[in-house]
Amino acid sequence: MNDPIALLARWIDEAGGPNSIEAVAMCLATAALNGAPSARIVLLRGLDERGLRFYTSYLSRKGQELAANPLAATVLYWPHLQRQVRAEGSVSPLTGEESDEYFGARPRGHQVAAWASEQSEPLDSYATLEERFAHFSDRFEGEEVPRPHSWGGYLLVPERIEFWQGRPNRMHERLLYTRSAGAWNLTRLQP
């Protein structure tokens, strides 16, 4: 297959589909300007010819690291299928319209939580977070919850995508796609 985005979409479908958390949970690795890496699990919330989309607080640790160093790597792993996909590339914020559209489709509790949580900031007690959630629930009672300006989406534009398929005797199949001048080149790698 010459299109790694289409292959990734197919593997996600085979892992349970885009609405299955197990199929779209991915480890996102970022790095600070000093090179210190950090990784966490986020959900892949969109995939198209441009790349991979995820959403978070711009003020979170990952948001701050992406603002300082807009490169990232991600891994999706499906142990029951003996498969993983790694993607590496540049990351940029999505448009406000794209972020608004996704935010508007989220469950109301998730929307309120985006207002209540100052993600990655210290918290004196969980009760404080619950109070903030109650405050914003009351504040937006009877109306649509607007997207906070500090929250939105990112697009990872892959330059490399590697597909790994486990095989008996550790004779794994590895396909590496690299982008050059807008086209994808395929190289098979040894296990």
Rounded Cα–Cα distance for residues 22 and 11 (Å): 12
**Does residue 172 surpass a pLDDT of 80?**
yes
With b meaning 16 or more CB within 10 Å and e meaning fewer, what string describes 87-111?
bbbebebbeeebbeebbeebeeeeb
**Domains of the chain from N-terminus onward:** 4-104+150-189 (2.30.110.10)
The tens digit of pLDDT for each residue in 26-51 reads 999 999 989 999 999 999 999 999 99
- What residues act catalytically? 170
Rounded percentage of the chain residues whose pLDDT exceeds 70: 100
pLDDT band (50, 70, 90) for residue 21:
very high
**Does residue 158 surpass a pLDDT of 90?**
yes
pLDDT, position 26: 98
pLDDT, position 175: 98
Rounded Cα–Cα distance for residues 158 and 50 (Å): 8
Rounded percentage of the chain residues whose pLDDT exceeds 90: 96
Q: Model-level pTM greater than 0.95?
A: no
The tens digit of pLDDT for each residue in 74-109 reads 999 999 999 999 999 999 999 999 999 999 999 999
**Does residue 1 surpass a pLDDT of 90?**
no
Average pLDDT over residues 113-140: 95
**Mean of the per-residue pLDDT values for the chain?**
96
